[in-house]
Chain A
């Protein structure tokens, strides 16, 4: 079982933006959602968790080890989409999946089967032999999610995964994430869609101005109201993280 953990992680950009002393643990087998307004620091936090940024202070751990000390074996158990998917426009969907599987450490003899399974799981068979450049943004997002999840990672980080997805894609993603979490995967997602995260998340953490400002109860009857109340309290300085 592999956890993803941030301990007092800080990364500040000129002007004061960034994240400031964030503690967060994404437990194995759980879906943990990050919610916050645009610019709250969700993407920065995810980048720090994946080594795309180095913290000024604090540390990120995967499976209890600092990410600066992780070997190839542990990184092969991580999947993510933070920003543009790892999909190249000149390659066909099937070839992109196979290439990404290799880069994620899948043995050469297994990449074909892994890619075929992903095509089936993410309902991408009709597009398997199309080049990425001709896909709609929704189907590109599906390919990105397939790339992040096809190698059965223990830790998954997805930034706004429902962006550009049609309703069937959202439903599909929901089922896949619930299934993976049930199998023991630690899943971190960020989203603006509070109703959607309430359906799948075990924990919901609110981020505002680069800090964790509280949690939301996924079972709360009016999660939107609770979210804005939490953000407003922080903006008015009445909440101490």
Chain B
């Protein structure tokens, strides 16, 4: 397992896909959020309508709220693309045949891919949180209060949970033998998440839980949030099983 993790880390660290996604997720979300916060603060009516109750906030609560709100869907897409690539590339680049007949089992290789992805997504979520904190200071919001620090830690939580939500894309990329099925699933999950939020199904639907928690923390229970890692574990198990049983028959 350690060998597989080292191998996957070596590939991820020099990957253009991973590097680009990191920049887009951290710098992209931070830039967009800052622009939206400033525009809402300046009284942009259309944007305020989009932000709902969040538009009534200012300073740290507005910034952390906007970043969290954007992170849930954008993060799922970004994390989903990266995990689909980490798994699906072996099929689309045909390197998967070289992963047979090795002393390292394919189950370990799949687990290593998920481990490296999880570590990267957690690091990216951390980088986004730190960037958000630095932006708040740079924008002159002053020293964050306890409530602001709690909001920042919630932002980190939303990022980490969103990374876990992307795990089913690894399973889709394996079953579909390529990147696109995983990416398609990520897009579908974002759409479903939006639908369930609008439909008022609430946070019992794990895809919607991080987004709802970001917008309204008091309305989401710990149990509902714990469904997210549960789903991730379930799909991690399905993915490693699919790799264990893999055949090059199509």
* Cα separation A53 to B250 with both chains bound (whole Å): 10
A166 interface hit (Cβ, 8 Å): no
Further pairs besides A52-B248, A53-B248: 9, Cβ < 8 Å: A52-B247, A83-B94, A83-B97, A84-B97, A86-B98, A91-B10, A91-B14, A103-B102, A105-B103
A115 to chain B, nearest CB (A): 13
Assess whether A50 is in contact with B247, with CB atoms less than 8 Å apart. no
Assess whether B7 is in contact with A75, with CB atoms less than 8 Å apart. no
Supposing A54-B247, A76-B103, A103-B104 touch, asked if A90 and B15 sit within 8 A by C-beta, the answer is yes
Partner of A84, one of B14, B95, B103: B95
14 contacts between A and B (CB under 8 A): A52-B97, A52-B248, A73-B103, A75-B101, A81-B98, A82-B97, A88-B11, A88-B95, A89-B93, A90-B11, A99-B11, A100-B98, A105-B102, A147-B98
A219 interface hit (Cβ, 8 Å): no
B233 to chain A, nearest CB (A): 26
> Chain B: interface secondary structure?
loop
Chain B residues in contact with chain A, CB under 8 A?
3-4, 6-7, 10-11, 14-16, 93-95, 97-105, 247-249
Binary B-proximity of A91-113 (CB < 8 A = 1, otherwise 0): 10001000110111100000000
> Chain A: interface secondary structure?
loop
Assess whether B99 is in contact with A84, with CB atoms less than 8 Å apart. no
Assess whether B3 is in contact with A103, with CB atoms less than 8 Å apart. yes
A182 to chain B, nearest CB (A): 23
Chain A residues in contact with chain B, CB under 8 A?
13, 47, 50-54, 72-73, 75-76, 78, 80-91, 95, 99-100, 102-105, 147, 157
Supposing A52-B248, A90-B14 touch, asked if A102 and B101 sit within 8 A by C-beta, the answer is no
* Cα separation A74 to B220 with both chains bound (whole Å): 52
> Can you list the 9 inter-chain pairs with the closest CB atoms, starting with the nearest?
A86-B98, A72-B103, A84-B94, A83-B97, A105-B103, A76-B103, A50-B101, A52-B248, A75-B103
* Cα separation A85 to B105 with both chains bound (whole Å): 18
Assess whether B3 is in contact with A102, with CB atoms less than 8 Å apart. yes
* Cα separation A47 to B98 with both chains bound (whole Å): 11
Total A-B residue contacts, Cβ distance less than 8 Å: 80
Residues in B neighbouring A47, C-beta threshold 8 A: 97, 248
Assess whether B14 is in contact with A52, with CB atoms less than 8 Å apart. no
A207 to chain B, nearest CB (A): 18
Assess whether A75 is in contact with B247, with CB atoms less than 8 Å apart. no
A67 to chain B, nearest CB (A): 8
B65 to chain A, nearest CB (A): 37
* Cα separation A85 to B97 with both chains bound (whole Å): 8
Partner of A50, one of B16, B95, B100, B104: B100
A10 to chain B, nearest CB (A): 14
Residues in B neighbouring A73, C-beta threshold 8 A: 103
Partner of A13, one of B3, B16, B103, B249: B249
Give the residue name and chain of the A residue nearest to B8 (CB).
A99
B120 to chain A, nearest CB (A): 15
* Cα separation A95 to B14 with both chains bound (whole Å): 11
Supposing A52-B247, A90-B16 touch, asked if A104 and B103 sit within 8 A by C-beta, the answer is yes
Residues in A neighbouring B97, C-beta threshold 8 A: 47, 52, 82-84, 86
Give the residue name and chain of the A residue nearest to B101 (CB).
A50
Give the residue name and chain of the B residue nearest to A157 (CB).
B101
Residues in B neighbouring A84, C-beta threshold 8 A: 93-95, 97-98
